[in-house]
Structure 1
Amino acid sequence: MKEVIVGHGGDYLSFKEIDFSIIANDFRFLPFYRDDLFLGMQAMNIGIIDPNITQYEYILLETYIEKEKTPSFEAMTVGAFSQMWIFALYEILRLWRDRRYEFSKLFKNGGIELKLKKLSTDDEMNITLLDRRKQLEKYGEDQSFRNEIEYCWEQLEPVYRMVELFRMNMAKHAAPGKSNAIPMAPGYGRINMLCGALDYELIIDRNSYELLNRRDVADNLRNVLLNIRANKKTP
């Protein structure tokens, strides 16, 4: 018999109670995002679209209750938006994780100067390249910057693992790192009767599942960003 692990305690704020500015504002001011104009814009996009999807989720729930049956079009719309949001969040978090790993490896191996030499400075119009050089230079020179990155990743990693689980189940039809653990119905979700988001049974291994929805991820991300703000690790 499969084991199902519930990912949320069950308390969801109403639409009007949610502070949607947390993701839209705080996320883009994390290290790496705040010093990279276009990467910061991608992080901000996660927060900009979150209230729209949340509203769709609550409308789905209201319609379901009113009609006493699943409204197919609304459910498919919420499912599509939810998966696209998860995929986008996964990519922005994975880039953050990979850059942290790359910079840390270069620092430990004494390879930052060599890497900087390989990053061309000929194209002064390439803002992304210039930002990358500045970040790498700062990483090599500033211990507090390195400490901030490590602290933020400690906070972000649990959210990243949630998103990774979602992404692997939906996009790869497998569990993370376990290609033989195949979900029964990847992408199929049931309406959560408290918030309207779609609950998915995400496979962890052959006998274990975790019950999660997009709202769980958004709420966890908000909590992480608030915790980082409270500890004054970001400006």
Structure 2
Amino acid sequence: MEEDDDMFSDDDTPSDIDFSILTMRWRQLTLFQDDLFLGMQGMNIGITDATITGWEYELLREYNEREKTPLDLATHVSAFSQMWLFAVYEVMRIWKDRIYQYNKWYGSGGVDTAISNLGPEDELNFTKEVKRRQLTRYRDDEEFRKKVDGEWAQFKPAFQMVELLRMNLAKHAAPGKDSMLTPAPGYGRINYICGAMDFEVVDKNGDFYFLNRRDIANALREAFLAIKT
């Protein structure tokens, strides 16, 4: 793709996107710093974001040149976009649930019990020992607790976008309201600016609007940039 192509006259072009943010900055988050494998899952989000973004702009180029939808490529982009979204949701859900548990146990005075329930130390179980260290620090270090909670607060709006789109695509309903059904789950239309697939979603209030993968990737990048490292 040529950077001076007419298609890329909009400010948001592949050459303007810093893909390293979603690849490298997960490991800077407090609960990711000592969790190697959760950090690797975050890195995967950034790696695949760069690849799918390239496909999205290729899809837009072909769509404009042919003046009709290139079905094979559109299907390819739609499938990988949905898989990317599900992966983002799982990483953020693990993060969210971990904070929720730590907060609950700390508030009820149950951190020691939670640590005890992990059983004896096991150097071969990396995840167990990460959780043990994090729980101990969450119990003892007020600044650690504030930093963990503050980081999630910055990402919460992005997660709500992820959750809304994921529920519509995977569950065919609005988050928290199974009776609010998605009219055409998984059906996407090509965004005329960036080539991402625009999916129609419904929220729990019954309001309809469009979201795409690029909306979420940009929201995540903005959240990372807003956090002081």
Which interval holds the TM-score relative to the shorter structure?
over 0.9
The CA deviation string for residues 17-42 of structure 1, in whole angstroms up to 9 with x for no partner, is 10000111112221211121111111
| Paired residue type of 2:124 | M
Q: Which residue of 2 aligns with 1:50?
A: 49
Aligned residue number for residue 5 of structure 1: none
Native 8 Å contact 1:60 1:71 kept in 2: yes
**Alignment partners' CA distance in 1, 2:67 and 2:92:** 38
In 1, Cα distance between equivalents of 2:74 and 2:27: 30
In structure 2, C-alpha distance between the alignment counterparts of 1:213 and 1:168, rounded to whole Å = 13
Q: What does residue 104 of structure 1 align with? A: 103
What secondary structure, in the 3-state scheme, does the structure 2 residue paired with 1:170 have? helix
* Partner deviation per Cα, 1:36-55 (whole Å, 9 max, x = no partner): 11111111111111100000
Q: Distance in 1 between matches of 2:129 and 2:207?
A: 46
Q: CA RMSD in A?
A: 1.2
- Structure ranking higher on relative contact order (CA contacts 8 Å, 6+ apart): 1
Spell out, residue by residue over 1:147-166, the C-alpha distance to the aligned partner (whole angstroms, 9 max, x if none): 01111111111011000001
2:7 alignment counterpart: none
Equivalent pair of 2:201/2:211 in contact (CA under 8 Å) = yes
CA distance in 1, matches of 2:33, 2:209: 33
Aligned mates of 1:100, 1:62 — CA distance in 2: 42
1:110–1:207 distance in 2 versus 1, CA, 3 Å: closer
Farther-moved stretch of structure 1 (29-38 vs 95-104): 29-38
Q: Determine helix, strand or coil for the equivalent of 2:210.
A: strand
Q: How many residues align?
A: 220
Partner of 2:172: 173
How many angstroms apart in 2 are the aligned matches of 1:125 and 1:88?
A: 26
3-state SS of 1:211 partner: strand
Q: Judge conservation of contact 1:175–1:182 (CA < 8 Å) in 2.
A: yes
CA distance in 1, matches of 2:11, 2:44: 23
**Structure 1, unpaired ranges of 5+:** 1-10
Q: TM-score, normalised by structure 2?
A: 0.93
Structure 1 runs (4+) greater than 3 angstroms displaced: none
Corresponding position of 1:6: none
The percentage of aligned residue pairs carrying the same residue is: 50
Q: Which residue of 1 aligns with 2:133?
A: 134
Partner of 1:201: 200
Structure 2 unaligned regions, length at least 5: 1-9
Q: Counterpart amino acid of 1:71?
A: P
Measure the CA separation in 1 of the matches of 2:98 and 2:143: 17
Q: Tell me if the contact between 1:182 and 1:206 (Cα under 8 Å) persists in the aligned partners.
A: no
**CA deviations over 1:98-145 (Å, ceiling 9, x no partner):** 100100111111111111112123422111111111111111111111
Match of 1:184 in 2: 183
